[in-house]
Amino acid sequence: MHAGNPLMRISHESIYRAICTTRWKLIPRELCTKLRTHRPIRKNKRNTVKGQWRSQITGARPIEERPDTANARTELGHLEGDLIVGARNSQIATLVDRKSRYLTMVALPSRHTTTVIPALQQAFSRMDARLRSTLTWDRGMELAGHRLLTEATGVDVYFAAPRSPWQRGTNENTNKLIRQCLPIGIDLSLYSQADLDALAARLNNRPRKCLGYRTPAQCVALNL
């Protein structure tokens, strides 16, 4: 109606903000659990990285140095990883193959790098060597010991830019699927590695539109 009048334009973020501000008045609180994110308000993307310390990882290789085959999704083995955090300071690690969307979940008793690096090393040791070539992570200090991981496994580690979760979009989208089963606020320490393996198997056998309605497991089998 006012396409030609710049004074009458409004950004999509302003629209979302207006909806979320009044949501408590218009939508019953219990209906928020039906949303995919289970959040009653929109998350502020500007605050997805807390503190400057996240960018102070020694020897961090930027995502721009990642191989072209990883960027183009032309071969298996290029992984994106992150932590999912739960109640009572609990956490798990997730690893997702960029080409096949194949998921590996790793139980973690702590998010300290001295715990995370050995846990990832063990997870990689259980993988086919063709499924572990590179790993892209955010700037979290849980991967401060990335050099030890590379030395032990041969997996080259790259880091996304600060405050840029879209650079690991495959992992972010998969984590949203996981949240449907492990909602925000749950104590993740209650889940054993066997429990996480079973959940990963369910998602790896779930057809994906982006894979032509094949499952991640089928995609891996077709490309090995």
Give pLDDT tens digits for 101-134. Answer: 999 999 999 999 999 999 999 999 999 999 999 9
Exposed, middle or buried, 173 (CB in 10 Å: 0-12/13-18/19+)? middle
Question: Would you state the pLDDT for residue 46?
Answer: 44
Given pLDDT bands bounded at 50, 70 and 90, which one contains residue 163? confident
Question: Would you state the pLDDT for residue 204?
Answer: 98
Question: Would you state the pLDDT for residue 130?
Answer: 94
Given pLDDT bands bounded at 50, 70 and 90, which one contains residue 210? very high
Strand segments (E) across 21-117:
78-85, 91-97, 103-108
Those residues with Cβ within 8 angstroms of residue 80's Cβ, 6 or more apart along the chain or in another chain? 95, 96, 98, 135, 136, 137, 168, 170, 171
Given pLDDT bands bounded at 50, 70 and 90, which one contains residue 48? very low
For residue 55, pLDDT over 50 is answered with no
**53 against 211, higher pLDDT:** 211
Mean pLDDT of the chain: 87
How do strand 103-108 and strand 134-137 relate by DSSP bridges? unpaired
Question: Percentage of the chain surpassing pLDDT 90?
Answer: 74
Kindly list the domain boundaries of the chain, sorted by start residue. 1-43, 59-223
Per CATH, the number for 59-223 is 3.30.420.10
User: What's the pTM?
Assistant: 0.76
For residue 20, pLDDT over 80 is answered with no
For residue 165, pLDDT over 50 is answered with yes
